Copies of this chain bind each other. A is one copy, B any other.
């Protein structure tokens, strides 16, 4: 299983945004939509072995939406229909437990801190520009959770918190890339590893 966490620092927790102007009305939900595309979309299908957690911090209290590749339906590659799925997830009353909005998509109240506590026994692959090159590390298939920031990176407080857990700081590029491009590259590294490890 491949797991990605993306923190949207301004990403709205309300469904009251416009699909006609996603970047301008939703706290850059377009970034998260592109991360969903990068995580799941193949040329003729969806990656079943991927889960993504999207932490929406643009509200009075955060919400987290998760998409599970093994269950998801109706996922198209374009931004607008993906944003419409997130809108549906934000419409349902969120509690501290996961509530299902559409197949494979769940939402709850809570932010990054809660998620980190829940995954504390798993290696966090903390994506930062100043990290070690992903090609130089032992990247065992399915051996970590990839944590990425949006256009705002991470706050000092978040950074301090993440570093308390079992983590490695990793980079995928000499350039400063958007989170979705990082996910494409991570998927490529893992696809290559999976091929190389295949007995066939």
Given contacts A38-B181, A184-B185, A185-B188, contact A78 B23 (CB under 8 A): yes
- Give 1 or 0 for each of A17-31: 1 = CB within 8 Å of chain B CB: 001111100000011
Given contacts A184-B185, A185-B185, contact A42 B80 (CB under 8 A): no
Inter-chain CA distance A81–B30, complex, in Å, is 11
Inter-chain CA distance A88–B192, complex, in Å, is 40
CB distance from A22 to the nearest CB of B (A): 6
Partner-B contacts on A (CB < 8 A): 19-23, 30-31, 34, 37-38, 41-44, 76-81, 151, 172-178, 181, 184-185, 187-188, 191-192, 194-195
Inter-chain CA distance A198–B11, complex, in Å, is 38
Do the beta carbons of B178 and A191 come within 8 Å of each other? no
CB distance from A31 to the nearest CB of B (A): 8
Given contacts A41-B178, A185-B188, contact A80 B77 (CB under 8 A): no
Inter-chain CA distance A43–B80, complex, in Å, is 21
Looking at A23, A41, A79, A192, which has the most chain B CB atoms within 10 Å of its CB?
Answer: A79
- Nearest-CB residue, chain B, relative to A194: B174
Which residues of chain B are near A195, meaning CB under 8 Å?
174
CB distance from A54 to the nearest CB of B (A): 17
- Nearest-CB residue, chain B, relative to A195: B174
Do the beta carbons of A76 and B23 come within 8 Å of each other? yes
Do the beta carbons of A178 and B43 come within 8 Å of each other? yes
CB distance from A194 to the nearest CB of B (A): 8
Task: Among B19, B174, B184, point to the contact of A184 (Cβ < 8 A).
Answer: B184
CB distance from A81 to the nearest CB of B (A): 8
Inter-chain CA distance A23–B174, complex, in Å, is 33
Looking at A44, A175, A185, which has the most chain B CB atoms within 10 Å of its CB?
Answer: A175
Inter-chain CA distance A22–B171, complex, in Å, is 34
Inter-chain CA distance A161–B30, complex, in Å, is 38
Which residues of chain B are near A191, meaning CB under 8 Å?
173-175
